[in-house]
């Protein structure tokens, strides 16, 4: 049976889309037929993160009734299937969210896991994305506003009968000014299932239009996301250790022409 998992946060800018895109790639590398749907039709970014911008048919067209969902599915990095939202704002007015349900029904038939990147906030589009799922991953940063919004999202999801798998703390900085993992767990009353460190490599990868787990699989962020993917499907994951060669040995190798 297909698992429909929505990744939501409440607050925008917490890294939800980055996590969704990378998690989709991670699940795909584990052999799961995964579709990532960018339901953030107003602020679509998933295609930028996965380097898939400029696709001709997008979710916009599907929700506008101008295309079938099958035509909006594209193959992305690591074999993950992606339904981009489409960055154009022109079609926004034509969108009818009730068409999302029909689109999802089709997608569910063709995937093991359907990951939905929900829009930020709690407007109709966000609620539609949350209500469409059976399970929800709550993404937050360890900051008060982010957690406050995550709490609202969690309560709404509960009300809509969606199971909350857990909280993913993104951009953890080991800074005492932020909330600790225990505090977040206590406030949200949801277990923390992954802690993703603050990593400048993420922005760098996005700038290159590549998911970080492809561009830099040894980074702590990549390891954390791969571990999260493994946990979601009950797989084991051995973190990839970063190169431990010293600067001097690298220099020597370079001088000897081994690199």
Question: Between 44 and 151, whose beta carbon lies closer to other proteins?
Answer: 151
Site for other proteins in 160-179 (CB under 8 A): 160, 176-177, 179
Nearest residue (CB) to other proteins, 110 versus 180: 180
- Site membership for other proteins, residue 124 (CB under 8 A): yes
Looking at the Cβ atoms of 128 and 224, the one nearer to other proteins is 128
Taking CA atoms, 257 is separated from 244, 249, 251, 252, 254, in Å, by 19, 12, 10, 8, 5
What is the H or E stretch that residue 230 is in? helix 220-233
Binding mask of the shown chain, residues 69 to 108, with x at each position contacting other proteins by CB under 8 A: ----------------------------xx--x-------
Beta carbons of 148 and 37 less than 8 angstroms apart: no
Quick one: 160 or 252, whose CB is closer to other proteins?
160
Residue 234 C-beta: closest distance to other proteins, Å: 30
Instruction: Verify binding: residue 182, other proteins, rule CB under 8 A.
Output: yes
Among 89, 144, 240, 252, binds other proteins (CB under 8 A): 144
48 binds other proteins (CB under 8 A): no
User: In this complex, which beta carbon is closest to other proteins, that of residue 57 or of residue 192?
Assistant: 192
- Taking CB under 8 A as the binding criterion, the range among 71-79, 154-162, 194-202, 225-233 that sits at the site for other proteins is 154-162
Sheet holding 81-83, edge to edge: 74-75, 81-83, 34-38, 113-117, 3-8, 135-140, 163-172, 192-197
Q: How many CA atoms lie within 13 A of 12 on its CB side?
A: 11
| Residues 183-202 interacting with other proteins (rule: CB under 8 A) | 183, 186-187, 189
Instruction: Using the Cα atoms of residue 22, residue 24, residue 29 and residue 35 in order, give the sign of their dihedral.
Output: negative
DSSP assignments along 109-126, one per residue: HT-SEEEEEPPSSSSHHH
How many residues lie near other proteins (CB under 8 A)?
26
Please give the angle made by the CA atoms of 62, 67 and 68, to the nearest 5 degrees: 80
What residues contact 195, with CB distance under 8 A and at least 6 apart? 168, 169, 172, 181, 224
Dihedral angle, C-alpha 125, 122, 225, 197, nearest 10 °: 140
Q: Name the minimum Å distance from CB 118 to other proteins.
A: 13
Contact residues toward other proteins (CB under 8 A) are 97-98, 101, 122, 124, 127-128, 131, 144, 147-148, 151-152, 155-156, 159-160, 176-177, 179-180, 182-183, 186-187, 189
């Amino acid at each position: 049976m297909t698992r429909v998992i929505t990744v939501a946060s409440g607050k925008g800018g917490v890294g939800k889309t980055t996590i969704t895109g990378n998690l989709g790639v991670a699940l795909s590398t584990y052999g799961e037929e995964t579709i990532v749907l960018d339901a953030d039709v107003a602020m679509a970014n998933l295609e930028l993160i996965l380097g898939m911008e400029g696709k001709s048919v997008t979710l916009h067209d599907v929700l506008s009734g101008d295309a079938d969902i099958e035509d909006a599915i594209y193959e992305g990095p690591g074999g993950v299937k992606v339904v981009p939202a489409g960055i154009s704002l022109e079609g926004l007015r034509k969108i009818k969210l009730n068409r999302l349900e029909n689109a999802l029904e089709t997608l569910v038939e063709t995937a093991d896991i359907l990951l939905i990147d929900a829009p930020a906030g709690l407007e109709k589009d966000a609620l539609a994305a949350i209500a469409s799922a059976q399970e929800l991953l709550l993404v937050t940063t360890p900051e008060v506003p982010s957690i406050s919004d995550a709490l609202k999202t969690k309560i709404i999801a509960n009300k809509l009968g969606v199971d909350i798998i857990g909280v993913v703390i993104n951009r953890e900085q080991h800074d005492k000014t932020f909330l600790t993992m225990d505090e977040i767990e206590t406030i949200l009353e949801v277990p923390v299932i992954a802690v993703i460190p603050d990593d400048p490599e993420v922005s760098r990868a996005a700038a290159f239009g590549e998911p970080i787990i492809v561009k830099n699989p040894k980074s702590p962020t990549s390891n954390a996301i791969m571990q999260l993917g493994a946990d979601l499907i009950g797989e084991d994951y051995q973190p990839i250790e970063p190169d431990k060669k010293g600067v001097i040995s690298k220099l020597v190798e370079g001088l000897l022409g081994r690199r």
